[in-house]
Amino acid sequence: MSVFSTGFGAAKAILLGEHAVVYGEPAIAAALSVGVTAEARLAPRSSLQLNQPVSKDARAALQRAFERALRCLDIDKVELQLTSEVPIGMGLGSSGALSVAVANALLGLKSQAASRRKHKVLSIALEMEKEFHGTPSGVDHHTSALGGIVTFKNGIARRLTNPRSFTLVAVLAGQRPNTKETVQRLRERQQLWPQRYRRVFREIGQLAKEGVQAIEQGDLEWLGDLFNMNQGLLSALGLSSPNIEEAVYRLRKLGALGAKLTGAGGDGGAVLGLFENPQDAVRKLRGHEVIVAHFKSDTLKPKKHNAVRA
């Protein structure tokens, strides 16, 4: 058993398929090079620190998630320091990243054998995500743990190849309700009108399936159109808002091939634009909180760092 260990979990952006993925449809997500780092130290008593302010409720959920993780590994007392490079609760997978980071750090204390480690990270992160999301599909923590661009359905993630480079520009469109609440409200609406909601989920799943082909064939115009249609369907599900729509239209006006909310949406959070040449848009967005993530063609040498806060 080690006394000190660190772990990292990548933030993510969902390109297509959020919410429908909770109902068994496929989604596509991409890991960012920025995320959450966890430093864990065996100590006389447990404590938890985070480098960003969060609401009282979020803090309580974090504490419960941490306790779940300790129970999973039968570890008693740990001092945990969390450093997030992404804004918490804005749709960029901070809770999935945090769960993967904590799982990695705690497993480091236990000196877990490498062969079992990936499986263990996923199972501990899932336990923690239940505290944050209620009924997580698993797309966030799988993407965080696996890295790269992935398609995910029903607990199984597969890495995609992208022959053409692209850039995602995420603009923050204000505060939003937590994911658990937004997912629960949507569940209540779909329970009232299951058939109609199911039709929309299926259509979103269809967009994600096409998205896999668009990415693997390097057809960014196709992918952009899928972003736009997905945004329309998320709006039909009641997950958009004036803040979000404003950011979507701004990104499209700045040349995005497509733009949509990413993550749970609801009333704000991150909005994603797909670009081939983002320089002009990023310059014009100066003064706004923006995260820029480059995904180099994987026929070129992979680049370790894909995301920066601009």
- Residue from 13, 16, 22, 172 touching ligand MEV (CB under 6 A): that is 22
- Residue from 68, 120, 133, 142 touching ligand MEV (CB under 6 A): that is 133
**Helices 220-236 and 242-253 meet at what angle, rounded to 10?**
160
- Is 219 a catalytic site residue? no
Length of the chain: 310
Residue range at the interface with ligand MEV (CB under 6 A); choices 1-9, 81-89, 99-107, 132-140 = 132-140
Q: In angstroms, what is the minimal distance from the CB of 85 to ligand MEV? A: 17
Longest dimension (CA), the chain: 56
- Strand residue runs (E) in the chain: 4-16, 27-42, 47-50, 78-84, 149-153, 156-159, 166-172, 258-261, 270-275, 290-295, 307-309
Q: In angstroms, what is the minimal distance from the CB of 214 to ligand MEV? A: 20
Q: In angstroms, what is the minimal distance from the CB of 92 to ligand MEV? A: 8
Residue range at the interface with ligand MEV (CB under 6 A); choices 16-24, 39-47, 71-79, 114-122 = 16-24
Q: Does 58 bind ligand MEV (CB under 6 A)?
A: no
- Which of 57, 76, 140, 219 is flagged as catalytic? 140
Please tell me the distance from the alpha carbon of residue 171 to that of residue 282, in angstroms, as a whole number. 10
- Written as six digits, the tokens of 237 are 């599900």
Please tell me the distance from the alpha carbon of residue 43 to that of residue 176, in angstroms, as a whole number. 36
Please tell me the distance from the alpha carbon of residue 194 to that of residue 77, in angstroms, as a whole number. 45
Q: Which is nearer to ligand MEV, 122 or 281 (CB)?
A: 122
Of residues 155-184, which lie at the interface with ligand MEV (CB under 6 A)? 179, 183
Residues lying near ligand MEV in the complex (CB under 6 A): 14, 18-19, 21-22, 93, 133, 136-137, 139-140, 179, 183, 263-264
* Active-site residue set: 140
